[in-house]
Structure 1
């Protein structure tokens, strides 16, 4: 697992600009709202899911989105999804609940997980995500997140994620 050091090395090697913010640990979107209030840009939440076929999915959406989980499978091309287990998250992504981020794909073998980015985030700049721990936030362009995912051997799916009204 390459971890945060590998992430920072890749950001440097690919000349991807970012801003880094250290902060108290946050475990929920509600906790992060206060911490992130001073950080410009889009804020995210991430869902670690498993479909009926056993495939794992990492879905990143705007922090205020209430994802319509019953409609989500049709939008991303799978059957029924449920939340993945913490031990699968740690095994596949090397992170624990509360630290979920699309950047954890650095630790995932290509093909072991499908990474989905909400279409609104793919063009946003900056997009604020954790650098594999919940005590910091990195702000970088949505296109840079997609570039990193491809660099690590993942072909991200950009999709309009269905939300509840």
Structure 2
């Protein structure tokens, strides 16, 4: 059952998790995000919705400036070869559309239907800025609080160092 943003806000209240909410214009690109993020303290994120060769879906959250090494990623997360997931799978599993991807969308995912991964630098950061299931707002909350929410929703998040491409 899709609990959506209302469920997310209810759980933030129930778990007494402090957060900062920022409303803004819709952002679709990292460049647009950068302009919005300049006004917000904390770590910014980028999310990859992936499917591996074994048919498992992955939601991987990394720092926004990370260029993820997709060849090295499977070994780091204990997966097989990965490719980008389709928008219809994202909508079916997470109830969101591309552009609004966030680890908080796991509120809509059945436990076990998707593997959620958080880069270890983000897990330790505070605040971490993520979308509340839409790209016209950003929530800033501790990485530890994101992990608490994921566990509250029945997911077992994997925290690991996500491999990045060496800059040219």
The TM tier, using the shorter chain, reads: over 0.9
CA RMSD of aligned residues (A): 0.3
Q: Deviations over 1:22-52 (max 9, x none)?
A: 0000012111000110100000000000000
CA distance in 2, matches of 1:109, 1:27: 26
Q: Which residue of 2 aligns with 1:98?
A: 99
Distance in 2, matches of 1:156 and 1:29, equals 25
Please give the alpha-carbon distance, in whole angstroms, between the structure 2 residues aligned to 1:77 and 1:31: 33
Q: Does 1:135 align with 2:136?
A: yes
* Distance in 2 between residues matched to 1:30 and 1:67, nearest whole Å: 17
Find the counterpart in structure 2 of residue 8 from structure 1: 9
Q: Which runs of 5+ in 1 are unaligned?
A: none
How far 1:67 moved relative to its partner?
Answer: 0.1
Corresponding residue number in structure 2 for 1:46: 47
Equivalents in 2 of 1:55, 1:28: separation in Å?
Answer: 26
Shift in Å, 1:121:
0.2
What is residue 60 of structure 1 aligned with on the other side? Answer: 61
Q: Aligned residue for 1:69? A: 70
Question: After TM superposition, what 4+ stretches of structure 1 lie above 6 angstroms from structure 2?
Answer: none
Q: What do the CA deviations read for 1:97-132 (whole angstroms, capped 9, x no partner)?
A: 000000000000000000000000001000000000
Q: With structure 1 as the length reference, what TM-score do the two structures score?
A: 1.00
Matches of 1:31 and 1:41, distance apart in 2: 17
